[in-house]
Structure 1
Amino acid sequence: MWLSVLAVSAGAVIGANLRWALGLWLNSSSQVIPYGTLAANLSGGWLVGLLIGYFAQGSSLSPEWRLFAITGMCGALTTFSTFSLEMLTALQDGKWGMAVAGIMAHVVGSIAMTLLGIYTFGALRG
């Protein structure tokens, strides 16, 4: 149990810092679209798909590695709460088009990127 807690926690530290860095790097590039949050969600979706493909093939790694990578790192990298706040703020500011486009980009984009990650793993595996 404690090894699982440690695995999730260590992954979360990495994922949260990656998300923070993406926000610092990309959110300042636009006053309208928070690109850092979008990049975190889309890249996290792709990475989850890639990792699911890897672990589904019968990896010899211990279950704690899956907890570290998917639950901890990707869970902290992707950010539904920040996305929700940004879309609510856009709606409250009357930016309906931006909010609808943002919701579509995050939700549809994340699902598509997860699928792409699974396909990427399959292509890399041959």
Structure 2
Amino acid sequence: MLGAWLRWGLGLWLNPRFPGVPLGTLAANVAGGYLVGVAVAWISARPEIPPEWRLFVVTGFLGGLTTFSTFSAESVGMMLRGEYGWAALHTTWHLGGSIVATALGILTYRALA
């Protein structure tokens, strides 16, 4: 729930700055991807951490922060408006950005550990 509130706040803060470009969702997904990478690397290095905590942090908080459904609805909305280039770019930013951010989160943890 806390992650979802944070995502909502990002949308309220960032989306009005560039109408038509849902930056709040992108920020939530990329930042969430980075934090998932850090969390997964940190938890993996500590086998004594109960699996429930991993579920709480990664699936609960960070799963609430990130959103595949909103990103999908935004992409489809762009396609329905005939904005195919924006839809392709939007999809690339979300998927590529989240994957790269997750890898960077893992690398950050490893560099600092």
Give the TM-score range, shorter chain.
over 0.9
Q: List aligned pairs for 1:1-126, cutoff 5 A.
A: 13-125=1-113
Matches of 1:16 and 1:94, distance apart in 2: 30
Matches of 1:64 and 1:103, distance apart in 2: 32
Specify the SS of the correspondent of 1:32.
coil
Matches of 2:91 and 2:51, distance apart in 1: 33
Structure 1, residues 83-109: CA drift from partner, whole Å, max 9, x if none? 011110101111111110000000011
TM-score normalized with structure 1 length: 0.86
TM-score normalized with structure 2 length: 0.95
Specify the SS of the correspondent of 2:21.
coil
Deviates more, 1:56-65 or 1:93-102: 56-65
Specify the SS of the correspondent of 2:38.
helix
Runs of 4+ in 1 over 6 A off after TM superposition: none
Q: CA deviation at 1:31?
A: 1.2
Matches of 2:47 and 2:102, distance apart in 1: 19
Matches of 1:30 and 1:106, distance apart in 2: 17
Q: CA deviation at 1:68?
A: 1.1
Structure 2 residues not aligned, in runs of 5+ = none
Q: CA deviation at 1:59?
A: 4.7
Matches of 2:99 and 2:12, distance apart in 1: 25
Amino acid at match of 1:39: A
Matches of 2:18 and 2:73, distance apart in 1: 17
Count residues with an aligned counterpart: 113
Amino acid at match of 2:77: T
